[in-house]
Amino acid sequence: MKILLIDDDVRLVEMLQEYLEQEGFQVDSANNGEEGLGKFQAFQPDMVVLDVMMPVLNGIETLRKLRTFSQTPVIMLTAKDEPLDRVIGLELGADDYVPKPCMPRELVARVRAIARRVKTGNTPDEVDVIEVGPLAVWPGKRQVTWNEQDVQLTSTEFNILEVLAKHAGHPVSKEVLSENGLGRPLARYDRSIDVHLSSIRQKLGVLPDGRSCIQTVFRLGYQLIKV
């Protein structure tokens, strides 16, 4: 598996790269967003680890440009005291985030969690397609359509929607969505699931009565409406 590290902290990049390579990953790195986008095209990574605060082109703008042509999973590195950066990153299509300073072991755990979910989707599934009204989800192909039109989702968004589709008509807790969508337990005050669900709602169409097909169920979580 190939990982592209984009961070202007040279010492941190060297440490993370050495650790990731010891864990069996193939790693390339860049120290600013523009360089990172160029290396992305040449390296074609399976995942990107992207710092928010960088010179030349910051992580938010780098992610914005990246999402215009690729849905490759992205993990953002964010400052602990900047929750707004995390929300913006998730809204732009980041799959997850790790607060800085981060331990290499934690980053590897997040990388493996996302990789495991993507790999699961690339293997034959017991369900060829899950259809819920105008929504169709193909777990094996990791493909989603709404009224037969393709919907472009990030890896994490697909994981979350797949869980909701498999439990259509029943509420699914944020804890379950975090475990199955992000591959990690839900942390206290973590808004990641809410932000991902907001993005999914925007990408899907609405029902004939104008409602979103994904409804919030008070104190229980989220539910995909059966129609």
* Residue 152 sits in the same domain as residue 99: no
Count of CA atoms in the C-beta half-sphere (13 A) of 64: 8
Name the residue range of residue 178's domain: 130-224
SS3 content of the chain, % helix, strand, coil (to 5): 40, 20, 35
DSSP state of 89: H
* Residue 115 sits in the same domain as residue 8: yes
* Residue 171 sits in the same domain as residue 212: yes
Burial 157-183 (b: 16+ CB within 10 A, else e): bbbbbbbbbbbbeebbebebbbebbbb
Return the pLDDT at 122: 47
CATH number at residue 17: 3.40.50.2300
The Cα 106–Cα 172 span in angstroms is 26
In DSSP notation, 43-60 reads H--SEEEEESS-SSS-HH
Residue indicated by tokens 């072991």: 105
Helix (H) or strand (E) holding 18: helix 10-22
* Residue 203 sits in the same domain as residue 116: no
* Domain end call among 121, 143, 166: 121
* Residue 117 sits in the same domain as residue 176: no
Residue type, 223: Q
> How much is the pTM?
0.83
Return the pLDDT at 85: 85
* Domain end call among 75, 95, 121: 121
* Residue 134 sits in the same domain as residue 117: no
153 and 165 in contact (C-beta within 8 Å)? no
Nearest to 35 by CA among 6, 70, 63, 67: 6
Domains held by the chain: number: 2
* Residue 95 sits in the same domain as residue 165: no
Q: Give, rounded to a whole angstrom, the gap between the first and last alpha carbons of the chain.
A: 40
* Domain end call among 121, 155, 173: 121
User: For each of the chain's 227 residues, which pLDDT tens digit applies?
Assistant: 999 999 999 999 999 999 999 999 999 999 999 999 999 999 999 999 999 999 889 999 999 999 999 999 999 998 877 788 889 999 999 999 998 888 899 999 999 988 887 765 544 445 689 999 999 999 988 999 999 999 999 999 999 999 999 999 999 999 999 998 888 888 888 889 999 999 999 999 888 888 999 999 998 999 999 87
Return the pLDDT at 120: 54
